[in-house]
């Protein structure tokens, strides 16, 4: 059959290149696992299995794949089958017993994405450890100003700030890990739609390819889009969380705020303005995350109103586009890791902002409630007048006396101590607060979640390694 030149150039040849560039290694693994199963189930003879094994080995070692798709071939699979026929004759066709390109292609795509998803999870674990070490270090105890609605709000610590982001990051990782488990199931044996009359063993093929199991319903195996949509959803969440953090770090590093600082090796200068120190690494995090989100949105939109059938919206071109998005995401994680490892706090600037904007006055109101037997609204009113007086401690005492008909027995030094940023943090010992006592359960929760995620990922890696070894051993035994 001779295809339209336009169709061949725009579709078949591009798909052929995708398979050659990205998927042929996984395709060979599927061939081997399926061949082992056919032989073990006595669906094909030992002699036929030996011939097919020999043909696969020749393809892997000696066959030079053309740069363009040959005439009268519609994809890489059929090119391989034609080459196998040249090597072993009619026995080549036996390899396709009890399978279809429907179940085979989907399994190949799952294998390909599984590798990339696991690499991404390894990068996420590295990033999480970097942040956790920062939170636990002396840097993590450094004072910082937290903002609400763009305005200075409370004094906290860098560790408290970054551990909040860690909580979001770990939730994203848990969701992404669940999507990996959803992906990590074999569709082999579903064939075109309804399985087969041959006595195949789907579990054997699944085990030899290192999957968690099979997609049980054979129609579900070839029509579901969740294996590509679920990771899109969680990776978009991840990119959104990272860009929010990047934007906030950029705000905190601005000249107007200046509580976060970057070393010289992470800033760029202006070509005309001598004073400029631009932490543009933050912008590149946002740019690359935005480009990744665009790709992920595009992949999700492919599924809108598409038929609940085997469709090419779930084939090589979208998977390649996903791969392009993953490259952006990998870069974002590496840039963020570098940023958070090197950013530091300017505590002098933190104290200046704290003093000038009254970010610790909440604690003064709390102190009056705890030690002067006032209700909070009354204490809040007294401290509000103190703020309006430009922090005149005499006015604080006057307002207290006028409101309560008694004197405030606090020295100016004691008032200053209560208002100090260190005291503000020190007294916030409640679970989840920035004091050491409050941070302890936060760190335990983070450590436990990170341990569980890392353990799960390592188990997947180990299972794949063992299955690869077992598959090659059983293939060689044919």
Where b means 16+ CB within 10 Å and e means fewer, 105-123 reads: bbbbbbbbbbebbbebbeb
Do 224 and 273 fall into the same domain?
yes
Residues of the domain holding 21: 5-96
Examine the domain organization and report whether 154 and 234 are in the same domain. Answer: yes
Q: Are residues 106 and 46 in the same domain?
A: no
* CA dihedral sign, ordered 88, 89, 90, 95: positive
Quick one: pLDDT at residue 269? Answer: 82
Residue 88 in contact with residue 55, Cβ under 8 Å? yes
Q: Where residue 278 sits, what CATH number does that domain have?
A: 1.20.200.10
Contact 279, 262 (CB under 8 A): yes
> Which tokens belong to 263?
């070393």
Contact 200, 189 (CB under 8 A): yes
Structural domain includes residue 415: yes
Contact by Cβ (8 Å): 231, 183: yes
Q: Is the pLDDT of residue 37 over 80?
A: yes
User: Domain for residue 435, yes or no?
Assistant: no
Domain count for the chain: 3
The pLDDT of residue 331 is 98
Residues 320 and 267 in one domain: yes
Residues 72 and 170 in one domain: no
Structural domain includes residue 307:
yes
Q: Are residues 406 and 457 in the same domain?
A: no
Together in a domain, 107 and 226: yes
**Residue with structure tokens 């870069």?**
331
Residue 340 is predicted with a pLDDT of 95
Q: Confirm whether 431 is domain-assigned.
A: no
Binned at pLDDT 50, 70 and 90, residue 381 comes out as very high
Mean pLDDT, the chain, integer: 96
Pick the last residue of a domain from 54, 81, 96: 96
Let me know if residue 187 belongs to a domain.
yes
CB atoms within 10 A of CB 46: 10
Single out the residue of 44, 159, 30 nearest to residue 101, CA to CA: 30
pLDDT of residue 271: 80
Q: Is residue 411 part of a domain?
A: yes
**430 inside domain:** no
CA distance 121 to 117: 6
Residues 33 and 78 in one domain: yes
Residues 340 and 377 in one domain: no
DSSP count for the chain of H helices, then E strands: 19, 6
**Spatial CA neighbour of 31 closest among 68, 75, 84, 72:** 84
The reply to whether 116 and 189 lie within a common domain is: yes
Question: pLDDT tens digits for 203-256?
Answer: 999 999 999 999 999 999 999 999 999 999 999 999 999 999 999 999 999 989
Q: 456 and 397: one domain?
A: no
What whole-number distance in Å separates Cα of residue 406 and Cα of residue 249? 46
Instruction: Say whether both 30 and 157 belong to one domain.
Output: no
**Among 64, 96, 128, residue at a domain's last position:** 96
Task: Please report the pLDDT score of residue 465 as a whole number.
Answer: 98
The answer as to whether 432 is a domain residue is no
pLDDT tens digits, one per residue of 144-196: 999 999 999 999 999 999 999 999 999 999 999 999 999 999 999 999 999 99
């Amino acid at each position: 059959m001779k295809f339209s030149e336009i169709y061949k150039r725009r579709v078949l040849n591009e798909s052929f290149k995708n398979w050659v560039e990205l998927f042929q290694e996984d395709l060979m693994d599927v061939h081997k696992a399926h061949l082992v199963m056919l032989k073990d189930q006595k669906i094909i003879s030992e002699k036929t299995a030996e011939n097919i094994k020999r043909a696969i080995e020749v393809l892997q070692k000696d066959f030079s794949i053309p740069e363009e798709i040959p005439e009268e071939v519609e994809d890489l699979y059929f090119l391989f089958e034609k080459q196998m026929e040249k090597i072993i004759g009619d026995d080549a066709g036996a390899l396709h017993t009890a399978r279809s390109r429907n179940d085979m292609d989907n399994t190949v795509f799952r294998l390909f994405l599984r590798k990339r998803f696991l690499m991404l999870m390894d990068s996420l674990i590295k990033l999480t450890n970097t942040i956790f070490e920062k939170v636990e270090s002396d840097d993590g105890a450094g004072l910082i100003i937290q903002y609400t609605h763009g305005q200075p709000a409370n004094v906290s610590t860098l560790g408290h700030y970054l551990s909040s982001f860690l909580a979001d990051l770990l939730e994203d990782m848990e969701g992404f890990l669940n999507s990996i488990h959803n992906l990590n199931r074999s569709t082999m044996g579903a064939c075109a739609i309804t399985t087969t009359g041959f006595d195949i063993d789907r579990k054997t093929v699944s085990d030899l390819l290192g999957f968690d199991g099979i997609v049980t319903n054979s129609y579900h195996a070839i029509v579901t889009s969740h294996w590509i949509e679920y990771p899109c959803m969680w990776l978009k969440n991840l990119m959104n969380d990272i860009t929010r953090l990047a934007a906030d770090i950029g705000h905190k590093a601005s000249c107007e705020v200046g509580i976060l600082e970057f070393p010289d090796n992470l800033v760029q200068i202006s070509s005309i303005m001598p004073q400029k120190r631009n932490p543009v690494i933050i912008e590149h995090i946002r740019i690359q995350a935005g480009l990744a989100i665009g790709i992920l949105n595009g992949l999700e939109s492919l599924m809108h109103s598409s038929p609940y059938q085997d469709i090419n919206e779930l084939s090589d071109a979208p998977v390649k586009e996903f791969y392009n998005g993953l490259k952006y995401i990998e870069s974002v994680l590496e840039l963020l890791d570098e940023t958070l490892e090197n950013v530091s706090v300017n505590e002098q600037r933190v104290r200046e902002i704290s003093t000038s904007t009254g970010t610790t006055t909440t604690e003064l109101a709390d102190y009056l409630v705890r030690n002067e037997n006032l209700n909070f609204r009354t204490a809040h009113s007294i401290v509000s007048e103190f703020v309006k007086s430009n922090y005149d401690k005499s006015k604080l005492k006057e307002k207290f006396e006028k409101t309560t008909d008694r004197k405030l027995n606090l020295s100016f030094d004691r008032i200053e101590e209560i208002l100090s940023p260190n005291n503000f943090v020190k007294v916030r010992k409640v679970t989840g607060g920035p004091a050491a006592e409050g941070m302890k359960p936060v760190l335990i929760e983070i450590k436990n979640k990170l341990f569980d995620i890392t353990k799960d990922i390592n188990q997947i890696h180990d299972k794949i390694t063992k299955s690869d070894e077992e598959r090659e051993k059983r293939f060689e035994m044919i």
